Structure 1
């Protein structure tokens, strides 16, 4: 019996949570709160991506500058070797200079692309934050609308006609009922007083008659 009772109680509880969850999912403010949480998480992820992109941009710039310095160094070394008549060293320097310059060009392109990508990410991040602010404002507006709806519903319950009349009429009816009860109580009190006085008068008359009889005897 206890097991059956527990199963019934659990089933009722599950139904209650299911209904509550459905109401939560269909409530505009609940849905907006969910969107806000998801959007805030996306804004945070975007901020982290921007930081990573800045690190990447800085790394490309650092590598590019170092390779350019190496290319310039090999150029100077090649010129020195050529003036000194060391053509073999000059050729090695010029070959490495060309390799460094090629790498420098690739790194410069990568750096330029990273700058453009960073600007795009930052622009998107600003748009996301503005959108998030708009959603917060919309949430406040919906909360205000919800308050108005709830208040109107409560007021309507107070003002709405029922099969027994409006609340004001019901109050008047209750007032009249109290008046009737009060009059009835007053009438009963007066009758009780009347009966008591009659009984007292009857008792006094009986005592007087008894006295008269003793006197006559």
Structure 2
């Protein structure tokens, strides 16, 4: 059961990563951002290699100086043995001197090579820095262009004949509906006024008839 859930979990992760990669591939700016991030990682790795080469060069220089000092020491020991008439010691000192000088020569060549390699790596590293900086600038330029294109697209959509015509029709429809309601309100108002006048007239006639009837009753 545990294996089943692990497989299900991994399947979901893979699907999510797949969707993310599709989104990145469909978005040029996101794709460029990913490329810049990858380049920055490579630049960081290159910087570490340069620093490692610099340390290696310094180590070669240190070993070369030590080998040279040892060769000079063996030479002094040989001279001392010769001066003392110790031919056996002199030969041994000479052998040691030759070994030290050979080692010093190898280290000097390795040191010179390390200097050349370091110079080359530093140059490449600077070129990478400029390249990444150029990518940043291009990314900003493309982001600006994308913003302009997006804005233009929205403006064109708003100002396009079909969309603008539809909006105009909607405004006309609303205005017509409001005018219709206003006319209905006016009609209702006039009818209300008419009914009020009729009601008032009827009341006046009724009062007049009552007054006449009262007068007739008084005369009788």
TM bucket, shorter chain: 0.7 to 0.9
CA RMSD of aligned residues (A): 2.5
1:136 maps to what in 2? 136
Match of 1:147 in 2: 147
What's 2:197 paired with? 197
Q: Distance in 1 between matches of 2:117 and 2:206?
A: 121
- Structure 2 match to 1:24: 24
Distance 1:41 1:81 in 2: 60
SS at match of 2:165: coil
Corresponding position of 1:117: 117
The answer to whether the Cα contact below 8 Å between 2:71 and 2:100 also exists between their aligned partners in 1 is yes
- CA spacing shift, 1:16–1:136, aligned 2, 3 Å: same
Within-5 A mapping of 1:1-217: 22-162=22-162, 165-217=165-217
Unaligned runs of 5+ residues in structure 2 are 1-14
Whole-angstrom distance in 2 between the partners of 1:114 and 1:163 = 69
Cα distance in structure 2, aligned partners of 1:30 and 1:96: 65
Which residue is equivalent to 2:3? none
Query: Secondary structure in 1 aligned to 2:101?
Result: helix
Q: Secondary structure at the match of 2:149?
A: helix
Q: Is the 8 A contact 1:159 1:166 kept in 2?
A: no
Deviation at 1:77, TM superposition (A): 1.4
Match of 2:10 in 1: none
| Number of corresponding residues | 203
Q: How much has 1:205 moved relative to structure 2? A: 2.4
TM-score scaled to structure 2, two decimals?
Answer: 0.82
CA distance in 1, matches of 2:213, 2:168: 67
Secondary structure of 1:85 counterpart: coil
Return the alpha-carbon distance in structure 2 between the equivalents of residues 132 and 64 of structure 1: 38
TM norm structure 1: 0.83
